[in-house]
Amino acid sequence: MGEVAALRQLVGQVQELWDLYGANAHPVPRQGERTKSLLSPSSSRTAPFGYSAPTSRSRPRPPRPPPRADLLAPLRRGFWHCPMHRTRLFTQPHGIEPGKVLHPRWYLLDFEHGSIKDDYCGGRSGYNSELLKIMETNQSPLWKRPRRDRNREKAPSSNKTEVMQQEVWRDFPEDLFETVIARLPVAAIFRFRTVCRKWSSLLGSDSFSHQYSEAPRELPWFYTITHENANNNVAMYDPLLKKWHHSSVPLTPTKIVIPVASVGGLVCLLDLSHRNFYICNPLMQSLKEIPPRSVQGWSRVAVGMVLNGRSSSDGYKVMWLGNDGTYEVYDSTKNMWSCPGTFPPGIKLPLALNFRSQPVAVGSTVYFMCAEPDGVLSYDVSTGIWRQFAIPLPLHLTDHTLAEFQGRVMLVGLLCKNAATCVCIWELQKMTLLWKEVDRMPNIWCLEFYGKHMKMTCLGNSGLLMLSLKAKRMNRLVTYNLLKREWQKVPDCMLPCSRKKQWIACGTAFDPIPCALA
């Protein structure tokens, strides 16, 4: 910045000289002509630097300031010579002999002390003359380096590694380690398990379980089953990273199971016979087989799960319900099935349950979707009370399922009218027992479904919804955040070493809790 300020000051002073003496300046003598010395005694008595005062007979007109382009012409041509010290300021112009006087008033440069002497005013103003030194030695001026080169100098070297000071981290409180790690994303927690054995054993400690339960919850993950790769067809989706995870070892290598419910980081799996149940933690790859239900023979059932307390360490209950009104409840603390009571006579049988809709749990109450009549059936696991609500469905609704959000019962459905198809979200009004629409899919997304026979499957119905929209040669996965009311597209599910797209058959949402025990 000092060089730029010096150059601006020099240009301003050159313009001032031209305005004052441009019209009275002596012309540059040609070769072979005799010129009068500017420093003659007669002229130096009347005016400084060899100029004689104008007489009254021939008083010249006031000089007209030249155009702005002409003010910088001498500077562009690069010639300035001092008549007294013969100090070169810029390069010598072509056609001018060294030593010739080109202007009546000049600045004298002192390169040794880095200053400029102004003989016209008698004062001196010193500043950095590095730019003038560069021009004196015919060096190229400085220029601004590219940002890439400057960032390369600022960036630390790749071969330099920061060494942690042992005396600082040796006395670090252990509970703070657990507090920090418990608030990290789930994927980061599993990466930190490889640091040391102590950190790897954190997930099984009671203190870490308490810290993790106190930490704010993340978005739920999705445990899904794909059509392909029957030996290991489990795929888990992380909505925070928008990434699919595939387990390396199948949980049940000899049986085909489907996820039917989840609570507290645990997922309930049911085999195709609808008789054998399994409880697993998908993150820890732990699996527990619970006793089979007492009802013999095949019958399709709807399954729900609730917690006994705040976390899975306090125990959980699994409940199944059939169309004929039979039901059982499994208590993990007792490790057995029980039938709490008989089905109330006020509820008409058969129930005509909608098995395409997964039951949802709000507290200790499980809600089931019924088809005839349209409505909701609820059961309180802690009190054993049944309730039935006749709630008419919205018009033109084809596929629908229950959902839960912050203790409220929601409805997700596919509206089809004429050739138009759209996904809508409703909320159950407890006072009027009617469904109130709260949101719907953007119209620009619905244009893709126009004129197609669509089918919808809900893969997760707790806080964050995952919807599978299928048609002929088309399968779209989308998520809907009930809190933010935000729609997002889900990337295709593919194996790590394959480009083949995996089609999702079924699934459920679960809370990613590494310390949940089955």
Q: Are residues 196 and 304 in the same domain?
A: no
pLDDT single digits (tens) 97-137: 444 444 444 444 443 444 444 444 444 444 444 444 444 44
- Tell me the CA distances in angstroms from 493 to 121, 458, 474, one per residue in order: 82, 16, 14
Q: Among residues 180, 196, 216, which one ends one of the domains?
A: 216
Q: Are residues 177 and 277 in the same domain?
A: no
Q: Report, as ranges of residue numbers, the positions in the chain whose pLDDT lies below 70.
A: 1-2, 20-168, 228-232, 248-254, 296-297
- Tell me the CA distances in angstroms from 497 to 235, 458, 490, 500, 501, one per residue in order: 14, 28, 19, 9, 12
DSSP 296: -
Q: Are residues 192 and 322 in the same domain?
A: no
Q: Within a domain: residue 113? A: no
Q: Within a domain: residue 495? A: yes
Q: Within a domain: residue 58? A: no
Phi, psi of 359 (to 5 degrees): -65, 150
pLDDT single digits (tens) 229-260: 555 688 899 998 899 988 766 666 567 788 99
Q: Among residues 196, 216, 236, which one ends one of the domains?
A: 216
Q: Are residues 293 and 185 in the same domain?
A: no
Strand runs labelled E in 285-394: 286-290, 301-307, 316-322, 327-331, 336-338, 360-362, 365-370, 375-380, 385-390
Q: Are residues 376 and 473 in the same domain?
A: yes
Q: Within a domain: residue 290? A: yes
Q: Are residues 407 and 430 in the same domain?
A: yes
Q: Within a domain: residue 145? A: no
Residues in Cβ contact with 18 at an 8 Å cutoff, skipping those fewer than 6 apart: 65, 66, 70, 71
Q: Are residues 390 and 313 in the same domain?
A: yes
Q: Specify the amino acid at residue 277.
A: F
Q: Within a domain: residue 268? A: yes
Residue 83: CB atoms within 10 Å: 18
Q: Are residues 171 and 302 in the same domain?
A: no
Q: Are 23 and 60 in contact (CB under 8 A)?
A: yes
Q: Within a domain: residue 80? A: no
pTM score of the predicted model:
0.65
Q: Within a domain: residue 316? A: yes
Q: Are residues 428 and 496 in the same domain?
A: yes
Domain count for the chain, please give it. Answer: 2
Residue 477's CATH number: 2.120.10.80
Q: Are residues 254 and 179 in the same domain?
A: no
The domain in which residue 363 lies consists of 221-510
Q: Are 3 and 130 in contact (CB under 8 A)?
A: yes
Q: Among residues 148, 182, 216, which one ends one of the domains?
A: 216
Q: Are residues 212 and 334 in the same domain?
A: no
Q: Are 316 and 270 in contact (CB under 8 A)?
A: no
Give CA 187 to chain center in angstroms: 16
Q: Are residues 376 and 227 in the same domain?
A: yes
Place of tokens 């959980």: 316
What pLDDT score does 292 carry? Answer: 85
C-alpha torsion sign, points 445, 447, 448, 452: positive
Q: Which structure tokens are listed for 57?
A: 């007979």
The H-or-E segment that residue 246 falls in is strand 243-246
**Nearest C-alpha neighbor of 440 from the set 419, 424, 457:** 424
Distance, in Å, from the CA atom of 183 to the CA atom of 167, rounded to the nearest integer, reads 26
Query: SS3 of 493, please?
Result: strand
